[in-house]
């Protein structure tokens, strides 16, 4: 049987067969080339040239009926793909392109479009990507913005602000506009020179509302810092139809911060951070840990994101036996680290019963279950959660969202209608919105 042609030798074969095989012969070997539907509505091109897989398929005996040839064809297809991916990734590495680029929504259509073109495609030039196609993409973006604007006018929108600090220490605030379709970045403000008082934040948010159009704004979302809470109250006083809501993620982060101020959890987390720091600051110990955990890393806690603390404790719980095995192994005992003061301290923590049997278990189960349903043990946690919800998260729009969610409503409609907090939030929202439309009285 003829051997499968080498990937780099097929180019010469293509030229030879292009003159001998007509379009009908190419079609007979398989499916018609498909066209990927896209927002740009790419037109169907002329029948493609015969490609590498067509050549390989022709060389296999009894290609239409033989199971053996089918498996050989699939193997050849796999090898061709490997060659393509190898060349593509080499270009990525050479250009320093982020690995996350292959997860973009635009990546797959691009690959399929190249495949549909077939052999001999001329790559885009420096001028094309820099001038004409950049202009085309700008126009495409304008169309998306136009759709976003139409959604904003028709249904209203939510304004969102997010404060952060860059590497230069500047205090920046990003402003975004959210509609039913998507969230769009609006602008970024350097607030380094601002005093960040509630009044100043109100002025910034008020200006943003005016820029977007007050009649189109339904809700403004900020984090739940005290200055933003005050600014939100001023906004609701000025614009009777606008709701201010705190960022739920930030509220949860503050709850976690308070929870980890509890003595048991605080002490356990500090020990976990100490163990993590010791392991990750010593390459040999880190490699040893990865050997015992089958190359799985421990989640390292971030000081500003307290939710990570729960994930850290959970990762310790999952690797409990592997960590115990490592620190009792001959490899650890013969290492220089086993005789270090800090190494002995870390080893003691890993074998400390209280480290695993008290707060550690809470990271892997629901709160009540983790506290063995003993109210005295989890009451403080529930108090923190209830306080956070009462002060920040119990907002009228949240009540409306809960009421209108079919999963919750139809699960127990009678209980829903008798929930005073939910119904008050629903009625308050309806009253506020109808008054803004001139439907009062």
Mean of pLDDT values over 193-212:
89
Q: What is the pLDDT of residue 306?
A: 57
pLDDT-derived band at 35, boundaries 50, 70, 90: very low
- Of 298, 320, 310, 323, give the one whose Cα is nearest residue 370: 310
Q: What is the pLDDT of residue 379?
A: 60
pLDDT at 125 over 50: yes
d(CA 349, CA 370): 21
For the chain, domain boundaries: 7-123, 143-246, 256-379
What DSSP designation does 340 have? S
Q: What is the pLDDT of residue 270?
A: 86
Is the overall model pTM greater than 0.85, yes or no? no
- Sign for the CA dihedral angle at 267, 269, 270, 276 comes to positive
- Sign for the CA dihedral angle at 51, 56, 62, 68 comes to negative
User: Is the CB of residue 437 less than 8 Å from the CB of residue 218?
Assistant: no
Please give the structure tokens belonging to residue 91.
């270009």
**CATH architecture, domain defined by 143-246:** 2-Layer Sandwich (3.30)
pLDDT at 62 over 60: no
Q: Give the model confidence (pLDDT) of 130-166 as tens digits.
A: 999 999 999 998 998 898 899 999 999 999 998 888 8
Q: Coil, helix or strand for 21?
A: coil
Q: What is the pLDDT of residue 385?
A: 59
Q: Coil, helix or strand for 411?
A: coil
Q: What is the pLDDT of residue 381?
A: 61
Q: Give the model confidence (pLDDT) of 404-438 as tens digits.
A: 888 878 877 777 778 888 888 888 888 887 765 55
Give 40-63 as a DSSP string: T-PPP-SPPPP-HHHHHHHHSTTT
Please give the structure tokens belonging to residue 223.
């984090």
Tell how strand 243-246 and strand 183-190 pair up: unpaired
Q: Coil, helix or strand for 164?
A: strand
Q: What is the pLDDT of residue 389?
A: 55
Mean model confidence pLDDT for the chain: 77
Q: Give the model confidence (pLDDT) of 302-358 as tens digits.
A: 544 556 777 777 788 888 899 999 999 999 999 999 999 999 999 999 998 888 865
Q: Give the model confidence (pLDDT) of 364-382 as tens digits.
A: 445 555 555 555 655 666 5
d(CA 89, CA 344): 45
pLDDT-derived band at 298, boundaries 50, 70, 90: confident
Q: Give the model confidence (pLDDT) of 218-273 as tens digits.
A: 999 998 788 888 999 999 999 999 999 888 777 777 777 777 777 877 888 888 88
């Amino acid at each position: 049987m003829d051997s499968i042609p080498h990937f780099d030798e097929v180019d010469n074969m293509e030229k030879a067969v292009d003159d001998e095989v007509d379009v009908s012969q190419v079609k007979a070997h398989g499916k018609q080339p498909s066209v990927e539907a896209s927002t740009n509505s790419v037109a169907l091109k002329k029948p493609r040239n015969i490609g590498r897989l067509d050549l390989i398929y022709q060389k296999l005996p009894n290609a239409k009926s033989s199971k053996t040839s089918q498996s050989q064809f699939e193997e050849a297809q796999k090898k061709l793909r490997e060659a393509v991916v190898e060349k593509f990734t080499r270009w990525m590495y050479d250009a320093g392109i982020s690995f996350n680029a292959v997860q973009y929504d635009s990546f797959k259509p691009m690959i399929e479009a190249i495949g549909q073109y077939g052999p001999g495609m001329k790559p885009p030039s420096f001028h094309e990507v820099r001038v004409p196609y950049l202009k085309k993409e700008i126009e495409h973006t304008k169309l998306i913005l136009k759709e976003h604007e139409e959604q904003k006018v028709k249904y209203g929108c939510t304004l969102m602000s997010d404060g952060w600090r860059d590497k230069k220490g500047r205090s920046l605030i990003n402003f975004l506009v959210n509609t039913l379709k998507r969230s769009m970045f609006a602008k970024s403000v350097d607030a380094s020179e601002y005093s960040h008082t509630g009044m100043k934040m109100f002025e910034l948010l008020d200006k943003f509302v005016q820029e977007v159009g007050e009649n189109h704004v339904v809700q403004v979302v900020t984090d739940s810092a005290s200055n933003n809470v005050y600014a939100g109250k001023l906004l609701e006083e000025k614009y009777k139809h606008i709701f201010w809501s705190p960022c739920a993620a930030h509220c949860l982060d503050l709850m976690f911060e308070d929870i980890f101020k509890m003595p048991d959890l605080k002490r356990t987390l500090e020990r976990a951070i100490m163990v993590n720091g010791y392991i990750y600051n010593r390459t040999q110990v880190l490699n040893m840990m990865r050997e015992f955990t089958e190359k799985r890393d421990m989640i390292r806690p971030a000081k500003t994101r307290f939710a990570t603390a729960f994930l850290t404790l959970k990762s310790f719980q999952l690797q409990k036996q592997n960590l115990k095995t490592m620190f009792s192994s001959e490899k650890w005992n013969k290492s220089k680290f086993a005789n270090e003061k800090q190494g002995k301290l870390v080893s003691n923590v890993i074998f400390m019963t209280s480290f695993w049997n008290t707060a550690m278990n809470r990271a892997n189960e629901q709160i009540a279950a983790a506290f063995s349903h003993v109210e005295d043990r989890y009451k403080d946690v529930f108090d923190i959660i209830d306080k956070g919800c009462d002060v920040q998260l119990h907002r009228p729009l949240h009540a409306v969202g809960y009421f209108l969610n079919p999963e919750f409503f139809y699960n127990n409609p009678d209980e829903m209608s008798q929930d005073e907090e939910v119904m008050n939030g629903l009625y308050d929202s309806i009253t506020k919105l109808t008054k803004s439309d001139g439907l009062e009285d």
